Amino acid sequence: MRARTGTHARPPTPPDTPEPWWKRHTRLLWLGVFIPVIGAVLTALALDVLGLSGESAPSPTPTGAGAPSGTASPAPFDVTARQESEAGCTALPRRVSSPEDRAELASGGDVQAVVQRNDGARAGELVVGLTLEGGARSLTVTSIDIVPTTPRAGPPFAGTLLCEPGAGGESKIQLFADLDRPAPVFMTDRDSAKPYFRDKVITLRPEEQVNLSATFRAERGSRAFGLLIRYVRSGKEATLTVPAPRGGRYAVTGFAARYGAVYEGSPGGVYRRAEDPRPCRWSPAAQGC
């Protein structure tokens, strides 16, 4: 007989057998152990890449003598500036109005702080003493440049005028500059038209001290500025900025015809308000005097 062909049915699949409880707990136990370890390893790698691991390789010992790389070398000479005389007047662009400022004036407090807070400027003339002290090697100062903060002078300050009586002294080298000029330079004397450093230089020998007196004038306007020394040492040109006296600034203004208030006093003493708002006593040539 011929065998019959056909499709045979597959045996039924047995139902899924539940995973034994001990296998499931074992797997969770291993995950609880390895996840913190993996997290710690990844954290350490990230900190190492960022340089925050707290441990670093020792820095190589610098070779040769001298300061480490990146350290600023000392200045070739020292320069200091000071206001030569407290006598004269200082003008403020605004009328003194704050209780703090009025208390300083009335009690003989820190008047210089009042001037600095209100951006004051010396009226008529600012006389600054400069002291240059030589370093280890000789050098030649070829110029002291005046660097105005604005292209042209502004109007005179007419807010408050603070005046002190007295007289100042003279220094070894006299320099004069007119800040009303668009490009002021130092002249040989008060009324000269000849720049001082056109034909002259200042030689500064090792450990030598040279004193200068710089007078900055303003009659028609007000101006702030900086000072920059140009010098030559060992055949190389360089510059050095001159810091302003007592952390203030270099600024000078002409006298205004009238002020919001005029005070008279002395450094360390009481300032009293004057009845006349004109600066006639301090600047007879002022308008209306």
Per-residue pLDDT at 281:
86
Phi-psi map region of 29: left, alpha, beta (phi>0 left; psi -120 to 50 alpha):
alpha
- In angstroms, the CA 176 to CA 185 distance is 8
Phi-psi map region of 124: left, alpha, beta (phi>0 left; psi -120 to 50 alpha):
left
Average pLDDT value for residue range 66-76: 55
Per-residue pLDDT at 65:
35
Per-residue pLDDT at 171:
53
HSE, side-chain direction, 13 A CA sphere, residue 83: 22
**Contact (CB, 8 A) for 79 and 131:** yes
Average pLDDT value for residue range 76-105: 89
- pTM for the structure as a whole: 0.70
Give Dmax over CA atoms of the chain in angstroms: 150
The answer to whether residue 138 scores a pLDDT higher than 70 is: yes
Phi-psi map region of 51: left, alpha, beta (phi>0 left; psi -120 to 50 alpha):
left
- In angstroms, the CA 198 to CA 104 distance is 45
- In which band, very low, low, confident or very high, does the pLDDT at 27 lie, cut at 50, 70 and 90? low
Q: What is the β-pairing status of strands 272-273 and 139-148?
A: unpaired
Per-residue pLDDT at 166:
61
- In angstroms, the CA 190 to CA 274 distance is 31
- Spatial neighbors of 16 by CB under 8 A, at least 6 apart, are none
Per-residue pLDDT at 88:
87
- In which band, very low, low, confident or very high, does the pLDDT at 72 lie, cut at 50, 70 and 90? low
The answer to whether residue 192 scores a pLDDT higher than 90 is: no
- In angstroms, the CA 122 to CA 218 distance is 9
Task: Please give the residue that has the higher pLDDT: either 150 or 191.
Answer: 150
The answer to whether residue 207 scores a pLDDT higher than 70 is: yes
Q: Tokens 């208030």 — which residue?
A: 261
- % of the chain at pLDDT higher than 90: 55
In angstroms, the first-to-last Cα distance of the chain is 150
Tell me which of 22-26, 151-155, 258-262 is least confident: 22-26
- In angstroms, the CA 199 to CA 271 distance is 45
DSSP conformation class of 281: T
The answer to whether residue 68 scores a pLDDT higher than 50 is: no
Task: Please give the residue that has the higher pLDDT: either 166 or 142.
Answer: 142
| Sequence letter at residue 115 | V
- In which band, very low, low, confident or very high, does the pLDDT at 269 lie, cut at 50, 70 and 90? confident
Per-residue pLDDT at 108:
78
Q: What is the pLDDT of residues 241-264, one digit of tens each?
A: 999 988 789 999 999 999 999 999
The answer to whether residue 19 scores a pLDDT higher than 70 is: no
Per-residue pLDDT at 33:
47
